[in-house]
Structures are given as structure tokens and as C-alpha cells.
Amino acid sequence: MITIQLDGQPHQLHDACTLAALIDALGHAPHAVATAVDGLFVPRGQRAEIMLREGAAVLLFQPIVGG
């Protein structure tokens, strides 16, 4: 088991997983959330490449559109 910070709260994972897998496991549609890991924005197309490890700080937030 590993522990990450998800939106500022401890969250247990059975093992290291990708950011894309976490979003799926939480039941979020990939296009419905924007993401950041350790303070850095992660574009939707790169989520499958980002492995979450012990202590990672993950933020999920609603994307803002408009100008």
C-alpha cells in the first residue's frame, strides 16, 4: 500500500498506479477533470505516463473554459 495526497487529504492506493488509472478508479470521466501532480499541471494526454508514488500530491479540479 502507498499513500498519496488527493486534494489535500491522505488517500490509500494498493500499489503505485498511473494518474489515468486513479481518475478511472475514482469514477471521473477523463474530460471532466483537470489534474496536477506535485504542483505541476498534467495534460489529459499525459496522464497514462505519470506514475503515482508514495507521497505524491494530486489535485483534481474542474477545468475552466472561456476567455
- Residue pLDDT, tens place only, 23-56: 999 999 999 999 999 999 999 999 999 999 999 9
In a domain, 10, yes or no: yes
Q: Domain total for the chain? A: 1
Per-residue pLDDT at 17 exceeds 90: yes
DSSP, collapsed to helix, strand or coil, labels residue 24 as helix
| CATH code for position 15 | 3.10.20.30
- For residue 66, what pLDDT is reported? 65
How much is the average pLDDT of 4-8? Answer: 97
Asked, for residue 49, whether it belongs to a domain, the answer is: yes
Predicted structure pTM score: 0.90
What's the pLDDT score for residue 14?
87
Three-state secondary structure call for residue 45: helix
Q: Is residue 67 part of a domain?
A: no
Domain assignment of residue 66, yes or no: no
- Domain range enclosing 53: 2-61
CB-hemisphere CA count at 13 Å for 61? 15
